Amino acid sequence: MSSDDLPQWLAEIGRSPARHQSGRPVPPIGDRLQAKLNAGAVPEFNEAESLRYFEEYGIAVDACGEHEVDDFNARILDAMTENKLSSKQTMQLLTRLFSRFSGTDGLSRVTAAGQVEPLNRWGAA
């Protein structure tokens, strides 16, 4: 936020807004995928094929090392963008991936009381 966009009340007290970041950063869409999206060449969602991709990514996630987490994060999100995985399958894979090395429940939310609740608690995953 530039100083021109700064609200007057913040400028008067000499403060600036804090940059908020929560969760893991989402990797940028690769050039190849961006070109496909721009050309409208993303195929329709195929349920049978998505199950095959889900199983293959699941095997790869279970075998990956900690240094490969960011790469698999990007690959899984790209597969969802290309309609190879559903959003539910993507969430399940990312939950498995993140909880493998973090020792947590993966994708979670923090309540107003400050307690961490896994998102799959509502049956979303």
Tens-level pLDDT at each residue, the chain (125 residues):
555 677 777 777 777 776 666 666 666 777 777 777 777 767 788 899 999 999 999 999 999 988 888 889 989 998 888 889 998 999 899 888 888 877 665 567 788 888 877 776 555 54
The verdict on residue 115 lying in a domain is yes
pLDDT score, position 25 = 67
The verdict on residue 33 lying in a domain is yes
The verdict on residue 95 lying in a domain is yes
The verdict on residue 13 lying in a domain is no
- Number of structural domains the chain divides into: 1
**How many helices and strands (H and E) does the chain possess?**
5, 2
Q: b/e string for 8-20 if b means 16 or more Cβ within 10 A?
A: eeeeeeeeeeeee
The verdict on residue 85 lying in a domain is yes
Boundaries of domain holding 90: 29-122
The residue whose two tokens read 């021109």 is: 4
CA distance 79 to 86: 9
The identity of residue 17, as a single letter, is: P
